[in-house]
Amino acid sequence: MAGLHFLIGSAVDFHPFLIGSIVIRKPLLQAPLDGWTIEPFRRITRELGAPFSITEFINGLDVVHKTPNLPQRIAFDASERPIIFQLFDDDPQRLIESACILEERCHPDAFDINMGCSARQVANRGAGAGLLRHPEKIKMIISGIRARVSVPVTAKIRLGWDEDSINYLEIGKIAEDCGASMITLHARTRRQEYSGCADWTAIAALKSELKIPVVGNGDVVTIADAERMMSETGCDAVMIGRAMLRNPWIFAGYDFEAVPFGLFRDTCRKHLQYNMEYYGDRWGCVTFRKFAKRYLSRLDISRDDMLRLMTTDDPDTFCRSFETLLNGESL
């Protein structure tokens, strides 16, 4: 566990902090990822050390209209607490109403408001990063939810809509003044989507401007990256997105190549088991393929064997084949 202990006990300063009354004792946080951070994977990140779970974003429209895909988006295991529900919408009243409905129905430990999603169908409708163009709506959303629910509210933002409208400092201040308990900054603009490099200097600027905890996000892949982000920006914690899909062990302090093999194999097995419990055998295996491909990239698997695994529909065959490959044998 050298990495994480090094991170906590090293020149990099980590101090436990609060989101409302939730104590965050570890500096590496799980990011919300649509289509990925569903219950089974979140349980894995928690068991490896992430200090809370955060859902993929939940559409306020789905909550108010009780659409059929809502139950999966709000499902969580009791062991995941503290669990943060992330919401998105362009309509402040509907967002506030959604938070009230979900608080009563599921009792999450906090709500996070998505102000960073760059996807066209979200941002162009004025939700996600689209909200950054409407600071008055952000005021209504944060103060409205704060007034109506009993749990903390946090926000996840970007630098601004584009390079000509960088406003993260203004948005951060508004969120803080309206009662937000934490801000995460993905240090890119909406226009950048995922291109270029995240501008960590902006994370440092936001941290020096606000009193509430500031979480840095963008381009952290290794423990060394996380340490560098913390030391260069002074942020309170680091949120990890894409890198955790291949390496959830980062929450236990390991870079991908350094994960002890026994732990690697146990976690892979457990994740598949959680997926099958959650989705049922067949769908559990199908939805596990995208993780299997990433995890197995650590081993020397032939293209043919990978293709066979990825196209296996039968759960028994999938489990047997996955186990064979994990044991370093070919199919």
73, 186, 190, 191: which one binds ligand FMN (CB under 6 A): 186
> What's the CA gap between 138 and 141, in Å, rounded?
5
Reading phi first (left if > 0) and then psi (alpha if -120 to 50, else beta), residue 280 is in left
Q: Where are the alpha helices (DSSP H) in 10-134?
A: 39-48, 60-65, 70-74, 92-106, 120-123
31 interacts with ligand FMN by CB under 6 A: yes
Let me know: does 13 contact 230? Beta carbons within 8 Å: yes
**Of 313, 255, 238, the residue nearest 26 (C-alpha):** 238
Which CB sits closer to ligand FMN, 84 or 178? 84
Which CB sits closer to ligand FMN, 53 or 217? 217
> What's the CA gap between 186 and 134, in Å, rounded?
18
252 interacts with ligand FMN by CB under 6 A: no
144 interacts with ligand FMN by CB under 6 A: no
Reading phi first (left if > 0) and then psi (alpha if -120 to 50, else beta), residue 67 is in beta
219 interacts with ligand FMN by CB under 6 A: yes
276 interacts with ligand FMN by CB under 6 A: no
DSSP 285: H
Q: Is 285 a catalytic residue?
A: no
139, 242, 270, 289: which one binds ligand FMN (CB under 6 A): 242
Catalytic residue among 117, 235, 268, 319: 117
Let me know: does 236 contact 215? Beta carbons within 8 Å: yes
45, 98, 114, 247: which one binds ligand FMN (CB under 6 A): 114
220, 250, 252, 268: which one binds ligand FMN (CB under 6 A): 220
Residues between 148 and 177 that touch ligand FMN (CB under 6 A): 156
34, 209, 225, 277: which one binds ligand FMN (CB under 6 A): 34
Which CB sits closer to ligand FMN, 98 or 114? 114
Q: Just list the catalytic residues.
A: 117
Residues that bind ligand FMN (CB under 6 A): 31-35, 56-57, 86, 114, 116-117, 156, 186, 217-220, 240-243
